[in-house]
């Protein structure tokens, strides 16, 4: 079938053990994605993700709820990404997600190619 749908009650949230207050719900399999990958990432107020450099995967970030702050490049430059905007980060570029607000943040993260070759974690920008 050429159509897939993932509903909120189907999401399984896993907390990142190294980053408290940060959760991931995988969408790739449920959405039937064959050439890309996707996740919802949820950040509690004040939560941050790892600053890292994806080796081969470009990633697009779409805030669904809340305001995303990203630190991009080396040295890191702070970018605020509100709902209605997107940020696209090419492989090989240093990046870090953060929720610098008092509200929960929900971000749709879309990556290509679907195969991950890993990422290099570097010193945090925040």
pLDDT tens digits for range 40-97: 999 999 999 999 999 999 999 999 999 999 999 999 999 999 999 999 999 999 999 9
* CATH number, position 58: 2.60.120.10
Sign of CA dihedral 92, 111, 70, 12: negative
The answer as to whether 65 is a domain residue is yes
What global pTM score does this model have? 0.95
The answer as to whether 3 is a domain residue is no
What's the confidence (pLDDT) of residue 117?
85
Separation of alpha carbons 102 and 66, rounded Å: 9
Residue 28: other Cβ atoms inside 10 A = 16
In percent, the amount of the chain with pLDDT more than 90 equals: 94
34 three-class SS: coil
The yes-or-no verdict on residue 115 having pLDDT over 90 is no
The answer as to whether 116 is a domain residue is yes
Which DSSP string corresponds to 37-86? Answer: EEEEEEE-TT-B---EEESS-EEEEEEEES-EEEEETTTTEEEEE-TT--
Triad 119, 120, 126: Cα angle to 5°: 110
Location of structure tokens 């010193």: 123
9-26: per-residue pLDDT in tens? 999 999 999 999 999 999
What's the confidence (pLDDT) of residue 1?
63
The answer as to whether 6 is a domain residue is no
The answer as to whether 1 is a domain residue is no
Range of the domain at 33: 22-121
What residues pair up with 14 in beta bridges, in sequence order?
Answer: 24
Looking at per-residue pLDDT, the higher value among 78 and 115 belongs to: 78
The answer as to whether 16 is a domain residue is no
The answer as to whether 60 is a domain residue is yes
R_g of the chain, CA atoms, integer Å: 14
The answer as to whether 94 is a domain residue is yes
The total domain count for the chain is 1
């Amino acid at each position: 079938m050429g159509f897939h749908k993932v509903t909120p009650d189907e999401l399984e949230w896993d907390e990142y053990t190294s980053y408290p207050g940060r959760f991931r719900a995988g969408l790739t399999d449920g959405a039937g994605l064959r050439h890309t990958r996707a996740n919802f990432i949820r950040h509690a107020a004040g939560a941050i993700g790892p600053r890292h450099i994806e080796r081969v995967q470009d990633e697009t970030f779409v805030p669904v709820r809340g305001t995303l702050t990203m630190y991009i490049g080396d040295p890191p430059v702070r970018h605020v990404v509100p709902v209605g905007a997107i940020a696209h980060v090419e492989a090989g570029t240093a990046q870090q997600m953060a929720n610098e607000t008092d509200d929960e943040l929900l971000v749709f993260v879309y990556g290509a190619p679907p195969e991950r070759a890993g990422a290099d974690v570097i010193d945090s920008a925040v």
